[in-house]
Amino acid sequence: MQREQVLLEKAQKRLEEIHKIPALKKGNSITKALRRNGISRRDFMKWAGAMTAMLSLPASFVPLTAKAAEVADRLPVIWLHMAECTGCSESLLRSDGPGIDSLIFDYISLEYHETLMAASGFQAEHNLEAAIEKYKGRYVLMVEGGIPTGLEGQYLTIGAHGKTGWQGTVEASEHAAAIFAIGTCSSFGGIQAANPNPTATKPLSQVINKPVINVPGCPPSEKNIVGNVIHFILFGTLPSLDAFNRPKWAYGLRIHDLCERRGHFDAGEFVQAFGDDGAKDSYCLYKMGCKGPYTFNNCSKLRFNSHTSWPIQAGHGCIGCSEPNFWDTMGPFEEPMANKLYNTPFFGGADRTADNIGITLLGAAAIGIAAHAILTNIKKDNQ
């Protein structure tokens, strides 16, 4: 309780300081934004409660989480696009109806976002440079996409001034208050960094010398994006991170731990072929290549498409998209890891989220998973 009280007081003090900063969007408020979109105060507080739980904070933080959303318009955000497909922005912005997460992102002061801004050419570059200068030390930098470094970064040349993405990222990160790598491409390089990686693409953390919070996924859930913003507003510090600089509140458990098909795995009930009776009965997809036992994310809790579904619920196994180098280590996506286990990053990789002990535990778990599937198949073949 003492630790909880200390955290509460810290968050309250920070919110009071942020509230003193003039709103960046005059005449606007989160209350007005919610009302315009038919969202009641009750729904907003339910959202605050869910967000508080997702951030692994005590229930006493619910009013502060709501307050953090209300003062989010004091937080300037610069969003850069590097080598990517814009899918992470789409995850946040292209819901069938604007949810509270999307509305909060509309409500904050998004100073630069190439996909959304009306300006182009020299005007766009001027907006970026002016925002960096005006909000020096205050703005949050979000980077979507890997950073090509081959030919001194000239594989990605952006804007009217012809700067490389590498150069622009380094300049924007220098005075940022917090830096987030949005999506697997920015967090770990993504498909751009897959073998043979002709453009020498690197994750954001390898091209700048400041702390980076990785929010991987292809794409990540919009709640994981907004949740990090809310956490920063509340505390002004980095959340508890795993070995890959992912927030533990979002990436602390494996897909396998949270999967609604886990009971079928434990019972030895597996889909043997897409469309078979097991598939129709939602059996475990491990034999169809599901990488859930090796992947850390909260997809099953948050889901996608306005929280309607997620890949495993829809009938396809997890492809491990929130893990480093998954394009090279997780494929083929529709084949189980089995004897390819030792060619994956798990020994010294994802298991390190539990420090060195986790290497042994997850390694043993992975071997056990493969053995369980094989033995179950033998048992059923002999029946």
Q: Residues annotated in the binding site for [3Fe-4S] cluster, as ranges?
A: 299, 318, 321
User: Whole-angstrom Cα distance, residue 200 to residue 328?
Assistant: 15
Please report, in range form, the residues annotated as the binding site for [4Fe-4S] cluster: 85, 88, 185, 218, 256, 259, 284, 290
Q: How far apart are the first and last CA of the chain?
A: 56
User: Whole-angstrom Cα distance, residue 204 to residue 169?
Assistant: 8
Phi-psi label, residue 243: left if phi above 0, alpha if psi -120 to 50, beta otherwise: alpha
Q: How many CB atoms lie within 10 A of CB 280?
A: 10
In eight-state DSSP terms, residue 292 is G
Measure the CA angle with vertex 293, ends 288 and 297; round to 5°: 110
139-170 as b/e: b if 16+ CB within 10 A: bbbbbbbbbbbeeebebbebbeeebbbbbbbb
Measure the CA angle with vertex 230, ends 321 and 1; round to 5°: 110
CA neighbor of 295 nearest in space, from 250, 265, 340: 250
User: If you count them, how many residues does the chain have?
Assistant: 383
* Beta carbons within 8 Å of 107's beta carbon, 6+ residues apart: 25, 28, 30, 33, 69, 72, 73
In eight-state DSSP terms, residue 344 is S
Beta carbons of 87 and 220 less than 8 angstroms apart: no
Using CA atoms, how far residue 114 sits from 72, 121, 136, 161, 265, in Å, is: 21, 10, 20, 15, 44
Q: Torsions phi, psi of 55, nearest 5? A: -80, 5
Please report, in range form, the residues annotated as the binding site: 85, 88, 185, 218, 256, 259, 284, 290, 299, 318, 321
Half-sphere exposure of 364 (CA within 13 A, CB side): 5
